[in-house]
Amino acid sequence: MNLKAVAIAVVMAASIPVAASADQQVVRIATEGAYAPWSFSAPNGKLDGFEIDLAKVLCERMKVKCEVVPQNWDGIIPALVAKKYDAIMSALSVTPKRKETIAFSTPYAAAVNTFAVLADGDLKALPGSGEAYSLDTEQDAAKARIADMAKVLQGKVVGVQGSTTAATFVETYLKGAVQVHEYRTTEEHDFDLMNGRLDAVLANATVLTAALEKSDMKDAKLAGPLFSGGVFGVIAVGLRKEDTGLKQQFDDAIASALKDGTVKELSLKWFKLDVGPRG
């Protein structure tokens, strides 16, 4: 090949977008940054939380340099597909619908959801409080308890974050029983709960527990059962389908962090409980 041909080939190669791959030096990871304690902006403006710590661990084991960037939840998957970044770590549950668009790593956490209500409100004694159900292995018992809850929730206004598994749960199990208001962030629906515009909110139990520690949420409480599995799925890294090399890197790093107890250690640090995937 002559020098002119080589020069043309170099220019053409430089103009082609390069997807994340196993040997890439920098991996950009998106997170919502408004979902404490999974990911949030600390007072110094830096991102912090369970998934920020876990991302650092995974990147060290993958031997790559990672940049964690904030991204609004409602556009987090489209922006991944558009190659704005290479991966998502944002309490992203694996669902059949999402798998049509993107790929997922090995799970690194389970998603456990419940309701929060006003401590002196009509729903303070929501049926099933203190109980826990798997929508995978205890489906019949869970449905029976949900039916009991639906009677109490009839006509009530429930807040959920849009495009989440919480929204899917309400649509699947409580459609027709409750009025649903969708919000961009959990902080927004918490605010409306405390200001009397909602009767209840449904969200990840760890996120609600963290929110209840704030002074402006002191008059709220968790209510109803803890639900996991089923529509709530498991939580994993979101990736573009074509980035198989990067997926393998994340899979290996997550498996290692689960095996040696690192995920459990970080989970206990941020949640005071082990949210590692079950089974």
| pLDDT, tens digit (0-9, with 9 covering 90-100), for 190-221 | 999 999 999 999 999 999 999 999 999 999 99
Give pLDDT, residue 279.
59
Give pLDDT, residue 23.
53
Give pLDDT, residue 18.
40
Tell me whether domains 19-110+234-271 and 112-232 share a fold. yes
Domain 19-110+234-271 -> CATH class = alpha beta
Average confidence score pLDDT of the chain: 92
Give pLDDT, residue 22.
46
Strand pairing report for 200-204 and 87-88: unpaired
Compute the distance between CA of residue 131 and CA of residue 201 in angstroms, rounded to an integer: 18
Compute the distance between CA of residue 180 and CA of residue 177 in angstroms, rounded to an integer: 10
- For residue 167 the two structure tokens come to 């929204």
Give pLDDT, residue 9.
42
pLDDT tens-digit series, residues 63-72: 999 999 999 9
For the chain, domain boundaries: 19-110+234-271, 112-232
Cβ(217)–Cβ(195) below 8 Å: no
Band of pLDDT at residue 273, cut at 50, 70 and 90: confident
Give pLDDT, residue 51.
98
Give pLDDT, residue 28.
98
| The listed CATH number (3.40.50.2000, 3.40.190.10, 3.10.20.30, 3.90.220.20) that belongs to domain 112-232 | 3.40.190.10
Give pLDDT, residue 103.
98
Percent of the chain with pLDDT over 90: 90
Give pLDDT, residue 19.
44
What is the residue type of 52? I
Check whether 16 has a pLDDT greater than 60: no
Mean pLDDT score, 24-44: 93
Strand pairing report for 26-31 and 103-104: unpaired
Check whether 50 has a pLDDT greater than 50: yes
Band of pLDDT at residue 20, cut at 50, 70 and 90: very low
Cβ(257)–Cβ(54) below 8 Å: yes
Q: What is the pTM of this model?
A: 0.83
Give pLDDT, residue 163.
94
